[in-house]
Amino acid sequence: MGTQEQRVIDAALRCVARWGIGKTTLDDVAREASCSRATIYRLFPGGKDALLDAISRSELDRFFTGLAQRFDEATTLEDLLVSGVVYASNAITGHEALQFVLAYEPELVLPKVAFHHADRVLSSVSAFAAPYLASYVGDDEAPRVAEWVARLVLTYTLAPADGVDVGDEESVRRLVRTYVLPGLVSHVKQ
């Protein structure tokens, strides 16, 4: 993706964080990106829908790049799980555009990630994280562990509970040591 495309995507994200998806127009994005509406149509044939698709792809790439960096820095299963959970939770809660849409336009996002569509989200996360987990839990268990941890992240991030803050490293480390690692003990490679 070129710098101009990324500049428009970043401008669109700022607009969505301010006004939401429904009220953000291509004129708003063009103004925010200091370009013309025609430039947006040239870069994203299909208009707003094409731009929204590009935003989704860009933000997923950004998320997985950041997650990979955390995974690459981990030297133990515990550190891998803790850093992954904390990063993922903070990426979700710290994403201004996503938070605005979840608060004011949930009907636009929730159908894409809930119920039977959740399988796509979970399988994407699982496919990404499984290779990092495989050396600790084996190739067969890694996808299941990745999905289980992804479910924990989504649940605790979107429906917080007293005593568990998945955005806080100490809280996540307690959760991982108390519940996650003991649940994996028979699967962890010695």
Domain of 18, CATH number, reads 1.10.10.60
Q: Does a structural domain hold residue 64? A: no
Q: Which domain holds residue 19?
A: 1-56
pTM equals: 0.91
Number of independent structural domains in the chain: 2
pLDDT at 68: 98
pLDDT at 158: 85
pLDDT in tens, 62-97: 999 999 999 999 999 999 999 999 999 999 999 999
pLDDT at 190 over 60: no
Do residue 38 and residue 111 come from a single domain? no
pLDDT at 5: 96
What is 5-52 written as a DSSP string? Answer: HHHHHHHHHHHHHHHHHHH--HHHHHHHHTS-HHHHHHHSTTTHHHHH
Q: Does a structural domain hold residue 134? A: yes
